[in-house]
Amino acid sequence: MSLREIAQALGTSVDTRPEQEVSRVCIDSRTVQQGDLFFCIVGRNLDGHGFVRQAVEGGACAVISGRPLELPVPVILVRDTTLALGRLARFWRERTKARVIGVTGSAGKTTVKEMLARVLAVAGRTGKNFRNLNNQIGLPLSILEMDGEEDFWVLELGISRPGDMDDLGYILAPDAALVVNIGPCHLEGLGSLAGVAREKSTLLDYVRPDGFACVGADYPALREACAGRGTAVVEFSGRNGRAAYACLEKKADGEGLLYVLRTPAGEIRLRVPDQVNVAENVAAVTAMSMELGLTPADIASGLAAYSPAPQRFAVSRVGGWTFIDDTYNANPVSMACSLDEAVRLAGDRRLVLVLGEMRELGADAEREHRELGRRIAATPATHCFFYGAHAGHVREGLEGFSGEFIPAAAPEDVLGVMRDLRSEKGVVLFKGSRGCKMENFYAALERSWA
């Protein structure tokens, strides 16, 4: 894009070097390359305007600024640099030939995005967000990284307060939306499960007129929120629900996992690697892929190439133990799913849980941690280490738990107990909210046992 095109997209003008071509958009002065356009983003802790000279010295050919600046490169003035970044991304989205899919949900959206991108790559060039760059800054940056000649864009959208989905939906204007699920997360901003459903379903308002949405049918509040929004809805279920696409069976067969799914085209079987382990995710990817015209063979081929993103149920072997690194984040939905899968993987072996508290649950925090205690009590875990202020509430829900519950203030509290179990075989699940940094517990045990 030229500076003239960029200025027009932002509703302003540029007087100097209007035909200058921009090679890339950047917001970090440390990573600027020759020919980049630097956005002075104002964040919670840092103001990009304070790093603009470093960006120019690094090769920035122009700057988007919220205030007048004296620089040796063109400066395009805007009222709000973050809004301008989103507006430029929308301009670029309008120029692509790709079919654009927006993915959202309370749990598993990054995994579903990665799986769907793998599947769609079987049918054509596919672009996606890097990891979870999915907010009002990350989403535009992801879009502006695309060259526009891809066949598919698969982009996840993350929200935490009312109005977020309006911002992101406008930027993306998807051809199709995939709403995986809802759960009690970000309740400090969204208030209630109904608030989560309402905000997630807002994405359907921004789907193109001839587009459609695939929606998880196992969540009544989500189904209700999506109804009547004017977008065609196709439902899927990971629980053999009454949906167009539903997982009927999931079983290990020695070569991975075999899923049997009901689809509008009839019953299909998908044999996939063991790491494709969540039925809801498989149903979601199958629904969106088949609605986009892909075949079951395409889906199986794409899922065979999938590998988990770091810290998202990444499985590794450490001696006779299987370590599950699911430390990126946690909420009640994802915690329940991870516990179920850890139990399946453990089988007859010892199961140890190293868990951190679930944050941003607002007034529901105590109740949800008691419910977590009940879920833990239903597992065969011999030890549950718990980090965080809600250990007491988890303990209150542990009635009938046959294992040991051990509040852990630091990784050393886990290492001391686990040292005696090293010679055995078993499974350890590490999981907690982002602020708990449960990866420190994972790394400490992995280092001590390596």
43 with 10, same domain: the answer is yes
Using a pLDDT cut of 90, give the percent of the chain over it: 94
- At 311-368, the pLDDT tens digits run 999 999 998 999 999 999 999 999 999 999 999 999 999 999 999 999 999 999 999 9
Entry pTM: 0.90
Asked if 3 and 22 touch (Cβ cutoff 8 Å), the reply is yes
DSSP percent split of the chain into helix, strand, coil, nearest 5:
40, 25, 40
Burial class (CB in 10 A: 0-12, 13-18, 19+), 61: buried
337 with 403, same domain: the answer is yes
334 is in an annotated binding site: no
The arithmetic mean of pLDDT across residues 414-419, rounded, is 94
Question: End of a domain among 278, 305, 332?
Answer: 305
Tokens 């809802």 -> residue? 182
Would residue 130 count as lying in a domain? yes
The arithmetic mean of pLDDT across residues 401-413, rounded, is 96
The arithmetic mean of pLDDT across residues 108-127, rounded, is 96
* Integer angstrom CA distances of residue 72 from 57, 63, 144, 160, 322: 10, 10, 25, 39, 57
pLDDT at 254: 78
Count of CB atoms situated within 10 Å of the CB of 80: 12
Q: What contacts 288, CB < 8 A, 6 or more positions away?
A: 101, 116, 176, 178, 214
Helix, coil or strand: residue 100:
strand
Count of CB atoms situated within 10 Å of the CB of 363: 10
Mean residue pLDDT across the chain: 96
pLDDT at 444: 96
Domain hosting residue 418, numbered range: 314-449
pLDDT at 240: 85
12 with 34, same domain: the answer is yes
What secondary structure letter does DSSP report for 49? G
Helix, coil or strand: residue 392:
helix
- Rounded Cα–Cα distance for residues 261 and 289 (Å): 13
- Rounded Cα–Cα distance for residues 25 and 39 (Å): 7
pLDDT at 309: 85
Question: End of a domain among 250, 271, 305?
Answer: 305
Question: End of a domain among 80, 107, 140?
Answer: 80
CATH number of the domain encompassing residue 50: 3.40.1390.10
- pLDDT tops 80 at residue 131: no
Would residue 156 count as lying in a domain? yes
117 with 249, same domain: the answer is yes
CATH number of the domain encompassing residue 190: 3.40.1190.10
- Rounded Cα–Cα distance for residues 125 and 130 (Å): 16
Would residue 249 count as lying in a domain? yes
Would residue 258 count as lying in a domain? yes
108 is in an annotated binding site: yes
Is the Cα dihedral 385, 389, 392, 394 positive or negative? negative
Residue 228 pLDDT class (50, 70, 90 cuts): confident
226 with 298, same domain: the answer is yes
Residue 166 pLDDT class (50, 70, 90 cuts): very high
Cα maximum dimension of the chain? 73
pLDDT at 253: 82
List own/partner pairs for 74-82 with CB under 8 A and 24 or more apart: 74/3, 74/14, 74/15, 74/16, 74/17, 74/20, 76/3, 76/6, 76/7, 76/10, 76/12, 76/14, 77/12, 78/10, 78/12, 81/39, 81/40, 81/41, 81/42, 81/48, 82/41, 82/42, 82/136, 82/137
Number of domains within the chain = 3
- pLDDT tops 80 at residue 101: yes
* Integer angstrom CA distances of residue 388 from 404, 406, 432: 17, 11, 9
Q: What contacts 350, CB < 8 A, 6 or more positions away?
A: 382, 421, 424, 425, 426, 427
Helix, coil or strand: residue 407:
strand
250 with 381, same domain: the answer is no
- At 275-287, the pLDDT tens digits run 899 999 999 999 9
Extract the tokens encoding 186.
């970000």
106 is in an annotated binding site: yes
120 with 169, same domain: the answer is yes
42 with 163, same domain: the answer is no
Phi, psi of 350 (to 5 degrees): -65, 140
Would residue 91 count as lying in a domain? no
Phi, psi of 366 (to 5 degrees): -65, -45
200 is in an annotated binding site: no
- At 18-57, the pLDDT tens digits run 999 999 999 999 999 999 999 999 998 999 999 999 999 9
110 is in an annotated binding site: yes
115 with 258, same domain: the answer is yes
Would residue 88 count as lying in a domain? no
- pLDDT tops 90 at residue 450: no
365 with 234, same domain: the answer is no
Would residue 125 count as lying in a domain? yes
Q: Which residue has the higher pLDDT, 308 or 155?
A: 155
Q: What contacts 238, CB < 8 A, 6 or more positions away?
A: 216, 218, 246, 247, 278, 279, 280, 281, 282, 283, 284
Extract the tokens encoding 201.
């379903």
Would residue 87 count as lying in a domain? no
What secondary structure letter does DSSP report for 256? S
Q: What contacts 125, CB < 8 A, 6 or more positions away?
A: 149, 150, 151, 152
Residue 255 pLDDT class (50, 70, 90 cuts): confident
What secondary structure letter does DSSP report for 364? G
146 with 7, same domain: the answer is no
400 is in an annotated binding site: no
7 is in an annotated binding site: no
CATH number of the domain encompassing residue 432: 3.90.190.20
292 with 352, same domain: the answer is no
